[in-house]
Amino acid sequence: MAKTHIKLKVNGRERELLVEARMLLIHVLREELALTGPHIGCDTSHCGACTVDMNGKSVKSCTVFAAQASGAEITTIEGLVNADGSLHPLQEAFREHHGLQCGFCTPGMITRAHRLLQENPNPTDAEIRMGISGNLCRCTGYQNIVKAIRAVADTMNPAKEAAE
Ligand code: FES
Ligand code: FES
């Protein structure tokens, strides 16, 4: 089958690949680039486990053909870890506030939360819930996920935290 040449910038690193036209971005990330943080949790575009950042927006990477993504800048959960290997503040907050149980949804959830806080650095709890509504979690009941995201938002907005 004919293959298409694509270029991606993934977690700051330029990558070039040959992909079949039918290949989805999630499969390129997981199978070609060994970035197994983004998960596949459904085949209906509902769960959000495959969420990555693409050109500054959250996307479900199971809904994007790799060829469509050519030229894009992509960040996965692996790209959120600090350069020294320490955890991103959202990862720390999810750990501290018990925002995960089995962890299957967590990479997509944190990647989405990261973008949410870029879009709205000072969200209300309702806005957090709306912001992560494309990401399903079967374990936590969401309460502690909201708490974790809230904690990071409060760190980013110390004046508001002090006023409360
Ligand atoms: S794998 Fe469920 S939305 Fe992509
Ligand atoms: S922690 Fe298990 S699905 Fe969210």
Global pTM value: 0.94
Residue positions counted in the chain: 164
* 61 Cα nearest atom in ligand 1: 4
Predicted pLDDT at 159: 62
pLDDT tier, 162 (very low <50, low <70, confident <90, very high otherwise): low
Question: Taking a C-beta distance cutoff of 8 angstroms, is the pair 93, 106 a contact?
Answer: no
Question: Taking a C-beta distance cutoff of 8 angstroms, is the pair 16, 7 a contact?
Answer: yes
Alpha-carbon span 59 to 54, nearest angstrom: 6
Per DSSP, helices labelled H in 62-142 are 89-96, 106-119, 125-131
Predicted pLDDT at 114: 98
Please report the DSSP string for 120-157 in residue order: -SS--HHHHHHHTTTS--SSS-SHHHHHHHHHHHHHH-
Pairing of the two strands 3-10 and 73-75: parallel
Share of the chain above pLDDT 70, in %: 96
Nearest residue (by CA) to ligand 2, atom 2, is: 102
Contact 87 CB / ligand 2 (< 6 Å): no
